[in-house]
Amino acid sequence: MKFRERAVLILATGFFSGTIPFAPGTFGTLIGLPICFLFARFHLGLSVVCVLLFIIIAIGVASAAEKILKQKDPAKIVIDEIAGLLVTFVGLPFNGL
């Protein structure tokens, strides 16, 4: 496997959290929580821009991962769940308490 393909799979699977055999999407969203915490520290406008950039990148990564895995929307790909979590929490105070 080439470096680019491996990097795509690492990102698409949420650092392999999507390969957990049960509830891969749930474990994938856990990877998104620290990103939400980071984006919550930004100004709202910057947070929205970062989320939009993440979504654009996620679309490309998920599409490339589907081609590598030769499957349509496999459960292993959880970057879409991470993006959804970011959209859900953008603009909300997120202090971890």
Which tokens in the block code for residue 88? 């859900």
Closest CA to 83 of 6, 18, 2, 14: 14
- What pLDDT is recorded for position 61? 97
For the stretch 10-49, pLDDT in tens is 999 999 999 898 888 888 889 999 999 999 999 999 999 9
Closest CA to 77 of 66, 86, 68: 66
For the stretch 50-91, pLDDT in tens is 999 999 999 999 999 999 999 998 989 999 999 999 999 998
Sequence-distant (≥ 6) Cβ neighbours of residue 18 within 8 angstroms: 12, 24, 25, 27, 28, 75, 76, 77, 78
Q: pTM (2 decimals)?
A: 0.89
97 pLDDT higher than 70: no
